[in-house]
């Protein structure tokens, strides 16, 4: 059995993290290759991960035609039997080239609970006609897309995994609680609602700091909102920081106000750092955040409700600590990398 894991590029993002984890885990028992369509964006800590774990990685070079030709030749020469594609480009190129090269099993990948209209027809065609199966990282997506013409019999769900080792990092004693968000600056992340919730806390005269880490098309818009809402003294924006794990460890509460999600890597990172999570009820968030146990799950675009949940935590240090511990245990028991790998191993064994 020879396995290829195909990803578009290695930039900051959930699909990229999961492709690296999958390649690392699969290579422990199978001949496995991570294939990357473009090396344009290579995050330094991903390069460190590849070198540290000895992940066999192939970066495609040249024109589109040269990349496609190389991929076909690679599949044939290595006799690849199983191909895991992660995003639309990979589903398209990997799926079609894999079929032509005779790859035995081709698994598409869909990583969100909704698909934007411009991509929907393509993903439906590839799911129904090219991939043998499509792996969703969230249950919500399968429920919605069945109603949009996706074949149910070709859907598989394997939720994301994360390395959970040791114990919760110790929090440094500090007088000002830190609320933290790590997400790309995209409309679907709905930073407007997050900042309105922060404004609610300011108006209630709470003592806190809000740290945002990310990058993307809405950077200028988000910075302007912070100024317009009078939050400059409360909010700090960090653009693509290299020390993202340290920022999780320095925080006390995690906040996400997304309008849509698949299976949130950022929530998993927060739970692994012992943070209670305030999240919107989208995607598979409720699988990770059990309302009232390790955080709060609230409707989208409800800044006052979100602000009130944050207020409860800010005013109760014991609640922060207990919810953080509960969330860490929940993550360790249900969503560790070992559980993640076992699902793929069962799939490969069955096939």
pLDDT, one tens digit per residue, over 247-263 is: 999 999 999 999 988 89
Same CATH topology for 2-161+336-350 and 178-331: the answer is yes
pLDDT tens sequence across 119-141: 999 999 999 999 999 999 999 88
CATH dotted code for 2-161+336-350: 3.40.50.2000
**Mean pLDDT calculated for residue range 40-52:** 84
pLDDT tens sequence across 305-329: 999 999 999 999 999 999 999 999 9
Q: In Å, what is the CA distance from 339 to each residue of 158, 334, 336?
A: 10, 7, 5
In terms of pLDDT, which residue wins out, 143 or 351?
143
CA 117 to chain centre: 21
pLDDT tens sequence across 156-183: 999 998 988 767 767 655 679 999 999 9
Helices 303-314 and 317-334 meet at what angle, rounded to 10? 110
303, 196 contact by CB (below 8 A): yes
In terms of pLDDT, which residue wins out, 174 or 287?
287
Separation CA 336–CA 332 (nearest Å): 5
Sheet strand arrangement including 82-85: 57-59, 31-42, 2-10, 82-85, 105-110, 133-136, 155-157
Question: Domain locations in the chain?
Answer: 2-161+336-350, 178-331
pLDDT tens sequence across 173-210: 567 999 999 999 999 999 999 999 999 999 999 999 99
Q: In Å, what is the CA distance from 66 to each residue of 60, 70, 100, 114?
A: 8, 6, 16, 32
The class level of CATH for 178-331 reads alpha beta
**Mean pLDDT calculated for residue range 94-116:** 94
Q: What is the pLDDT of residue 325?
A: 94
Q: How confident is the model at residue 351 (pLDDT cuts 50, 70, 90)?
A: low
Mean pLDDT of the chain, nearest integer? 93
Record the pTM. Answer: 0.85
pLDDT tens sequence across 6-35: 999 998 777 898 999 999 999 999 999 999
């Amino acid at each position: 059995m020879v396995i290829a894991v195909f990803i578009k590029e290695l930039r900051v993002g959930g699909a990229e993290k999961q492709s690296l984890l999958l390649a690392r885990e699969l290579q422990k028992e199978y001949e496995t290759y991570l294939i990357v369509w473009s090396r344009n964006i290579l995050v330094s800590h991903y390069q460190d991960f590849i070198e540290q774990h000895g992940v066999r990685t192939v970066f495609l070079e040249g024109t589109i035609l040269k990349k496609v030709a190389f991929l076909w030749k690679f599949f044939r020469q290595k006799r690849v039997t199983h191909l895991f594609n992660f995003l639309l480009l990979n589903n398209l190129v990997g799926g079609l080239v894999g079929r032509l090269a005779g790859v035995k099993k081709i698994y598409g990948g869909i990583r969100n609970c909704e698909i934007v209209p411009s991509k929907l027809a393509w993903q439906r065609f590839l799911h129904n006609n090219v991939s043998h199966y499509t792996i969703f990282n969230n249950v919500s997506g399968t429920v919605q897309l069945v109603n949009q013409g996706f074949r149910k019999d070709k859907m598989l769900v394997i939720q994301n995994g994360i390395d959970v080792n040791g114990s919760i990092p110790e929090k440094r004693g500090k007088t000002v609680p830190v609320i933290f968000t790590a997400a790309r600056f995209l409309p679907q992340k709905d930073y407007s609602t997050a900042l309105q919730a922060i404004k609610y806390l300011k108006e209630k005269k709470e003592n806190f700091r809000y740290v945002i880490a990310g990058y993307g098309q809405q950077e200028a818009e988000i910075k302007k909102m912070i100024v317009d809402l009078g939050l400059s003294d409360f909010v700090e924006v960090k653009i693509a920081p290299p020390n993202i794990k340290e920022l999780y460890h320095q925080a006390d509460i995690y906040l996400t106000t997304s309008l849509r999600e698949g299976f949130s890597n950022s929530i998993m990172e927060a739970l692994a750092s012992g943070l209670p999570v305030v999240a919107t009820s989208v995607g598979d968030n409720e699988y990770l955040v059990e309302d009232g146990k390790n955080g709060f799950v609230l409707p989208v675009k409800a800044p006052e409700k979100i602000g009130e949940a944050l207020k409860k935590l800010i005013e109760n240090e014991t609640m922060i600590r207990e919810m953080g511990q509960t969330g860490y245990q929940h993550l360790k028991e249900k969503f560790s990398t070992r559980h993640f790998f076992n699902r793929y191993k069962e799939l490969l064994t069955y096939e």
